[in-house]
Copies of this chain bind each other. A is one copy, B any other.
Amino acid sequence: MTFEVTILGSNSALPAAGRHPTSQILNVHDQLYLIDCGEATQIQMNKYKVKRGGIDHIFISHLHGDHVLGLLPLINSFALNRRKRPMNIYGPKPIRRFIEHQLECTHSVMPYPIHFHEFDEGYSGAVMEDESLTVYSVPLDHRIPTLGYIFTEKEQAPHILPEEMRKHGILFDKVPAIKSGESVLNDKGEQVQAHQLTRPAAPPRSYAFMSDTRYNPALASRVEEVDLLYHEATFLHELIDRAEKTKHTTAREAGEFASAARVNKMIIGHFSTRYQNLTPLLEEAKNYFSETMLALEGRTFEVHQKDV
């Protein structure tokens, strides 16, 4: 089943160097989740053919403009397209007041409800749960209240083995019971254990989004062994002073973090506009964590488990 993330924007601060501010689309079992929404996110959606109508949940990391100023345009466009389904928006306070004030000033009439899920600074816990996914927040270390998000796939039911079903003489109306782990009776009245009729589903996969943040090794345990980590890497390590001052992370530090957290793979992004060529950032991070990739716009990354 699908579990992949598409990069819509990966530049820091402003649109430049041909790149756009932060935004990503996570696709989990064909449900779309939007993560951050910098300016022109909806234009990037047009470009990369994202079926935006399928988005019911938007996760905002923090209220710096390059992560949130595409949100009102997107909300307005949903209204113009006569959306009816509720939209859920998750983020640090005061995201509700920020959006509602803009809606009021722009005389926007909303034909669909927006449910805000606001969190206090430092909130760490579950923020969303649906059929396929649980989402947790991780407080990041930035200049203003900022949340990272961990998207964890729910455990899936085991796969039925049709051949074993026939062999044991089990009718297919027993599938729901078997999938939930119950033992069932065969046509001779004998009990058959669920595990004899199934093979386990793949273990749940996970994606962690960490931007913007100062490098913080203490957070590594929070994202330990996630299958895919997005970590910001705004600067090369030669600009460590600037990273410390602005509460960002260098490519080297992102590599060290991924390595300490023993994640499977990492994408780095939130590149400073000063880097037209991103290869030095990639090379620097790879020296510390070889499975690093660049968050290039339009690129889709499948979330894979570690090969055992």
Contact = CB atoms under 8 A, between A and B. Distances in A.
Interface of A: 13-16, 20, 39-40, 42-43, 46, 63-66, 68-70, 72-73, 76-77, 80, 94, 97-98, 101-102, 105-108, 143-144
Contacts of A70: 39
Contacts of A39: 39-40, 42-43, 70, 73
Sort A-B residue pairs by CB-CB distance and give the 6 closest, nearest first.
A98-B105, A39-B73, A40-B40, A14-B77, A65-B76, A107-B144
A177 to B, nearest CB: 49
A46 B16 contact: yes
Contacts of A16: 46
A42 B64 contact: no
B107 A63 contact: yes
A107 B14 contact: no
Nearest to A15: B43
B63 A42 contact: no
Nearest to A64: B106
A47 B247 CA distance: 31
21 contacts: A14-B80, A15-B43, A15-B46, A15-B73, A39-B39, A39-B40, A39-B42, A39-B70, A40-B43, A63-B106, A64-B107, A65-B76, A69-B106, A98-B101, A98-B102, A98-B106, A101-B101, A101-B102, A101-B105, A102-B102, A107-B143
Contacts of A46: 15-16
A61 to B, nearest CB: 13
B73 A65 contact: yes
Given A14-B80, A39-B43, A42-B14, A106 B73 contact: no
Given A39-B43, A39-B73, A43-B39, A63 B14 contact: no
A16 B74 CA distance: 12
A76 to B, nearest CB: 4
